[in-house]
Copies of this chain bind each other. A is one copy, B any other.
């Protein structure tokens, strides 16, 4: 069973969060995760990149505090750290995700 280092909420930095969300592939993944609303295996969300690349992106999101990853069997389950993010940086995630919904900012980099 793999263990991943997750930062605590007080270790989040705004610049790391913004940087993590500034990549189209990552932003799209986060948006899907938010829309689905519950824990998802990495593979459940379609992406245009190789699995090794996706593994890298998920690490960036995890290290920024945006997602939590735990393993169950062979799969890695990812979930948004919504409450912690909203508590630390109120309104940032919700505004960003609303903006994603209302624009085509994702997909074509």
Chain A residues in the interface with B (C-beta under 8 A): 13-16, 18-19, 21-24, 27, 88-92, 94-96, 98-100, 103, 105-106, 109
How distant is the Cα of A22 from the Cα of B66 in the complex, in angstroms?
Answer: 15
Say what secondary structure dominates the interface of chain A. helix
Q: How many copies does the complex hold?
A: 2
Q: Which residues of chain B are within 8 angstroms of A15 by Cβ–Cβ distance?
A: 22-24, 27, 105-106, 109
Question: Which 8 pairs of residues, A with B, have the shortest CB-CB distance?
Answer: A91-B95, A14-B105, A19-B22, A18-B22, A89-B99, A92-B95, A95-B95, A13-B105
How distant is the Cα of A48 from the Cα of B95 in the complex, in angstroms?
Answer: 30
Q: Which residues of chain B are within 8 angstroms of A13 by Cβ–Cβ distance?
A: 103, 105
